[in-house]
Structure 1
Amino acid sequence: MTNFAPIEFERLWGYLRNHLRDNWNVGRGRKCAQRPMDVLFMLLTTLKHCGKWDVVAGVFKIKPPKFQKMILSFATVLSPYLYERFVVSAADKFTMEALVLGGNAFRNYPSARYTTDVTFQHTNMPSDQMKERSAYYSAKHHLHGYKVEVSVLPNGLAIYCTDHYPGSEADIEVFRKNHKFHLQHLLKTESVMTKDL
């Protein structure tokens, strides 16, 4: 259902177990009856199939409103940890020097540290007034949706992912709004600068 082999799911669960034990189903209020490992599986299934909530909830025999609330609150607990562990840490770990020495430089652009693109994610048309709806309409794609900028290293790891922007936002404007990140991560280190001389 998730396209994860059991060993991959177990490895992912190993990374997340302690974080979820400390942050999921804690505090006051009603507790979730599902085990965190089961909710992780449900989240991955939901992300893969991405259909209507009632269809995915029916697979697990849980009422759709309860299922939606559970998955969204679980994702809210999980996503900052995943971003910090797998995205931000990759930016610090894989310097330009490490990429070149590891044989992971881009073939056509060996001096480029990462590549960046703005991706479009189709969504349903918002139910707001026409003015609010038009902000999410992309004339380029002829669809309503969101745009996200993602920067990826040559070894396939993402080192940056922005918040979403309305679909009508021009790609170049999304790049300009994230100018600070690019300036910070494209600075040459002292060792690289001495080699260039």
Structure 2
Amino acid sequence: MEINFCSACGQSMETRDIDGTERRACTACSFVHWGNYSIGVGALVEREGKLLLVRRAQEPGRGYWTNPGGYAEQLEQLHETVRREVIEETGIEAVVTGVAALRDEPRLIHNLYVAYSMEYVAGEPIPDGLEVDAAGFFSREEMESMNVASFTRWLADVALSSRSEGLRLDENPIVPLKGYGLFRVGKDTEV
């Protein structure tokens, strides 16, 4: 889809070479349309060696088992988005402990997917009845006979086989950066 009007001032757009790439740019102001992007998040919640999965009740992926997740909200940090999505889809309370995996999928709308390791806190899986029609914790062996989406199979392997802690939430950065969601490789705890 071609962008015809500027989202900043409403004037018409034209195609221009910007830094060696043809992009849509405003004819009246400095706005440049850099592309179409979406950011998805997914939860890897483990309890007693089993991973939390949901069965999709809607397209895309209706009937497939996937990890809970969704798309980023404009004014919500990603680690808050994934926590909210887990509660909404399953009723499970969990907290983010780190970034476990990323998927970068360039396409018409370039998609970045961030999978978070999460620590189970409380609750029993109850599907929301709208986005998902079933939810539960499943072992790797149980998943073998289930209709698990291929990307989710990969994520399950990441979650259940990982030897790394991944990028950890930096709750006390050396410089306070209000409003940032900061993740980093683990800090040494010894001084």
Relative contact order, higher structure (CA 8 A, sep 6+): 2
What is the TM-score normalised by the length of structure 2? 0.20
Instruction: Name the one with the larger strand percent.
Output: 2
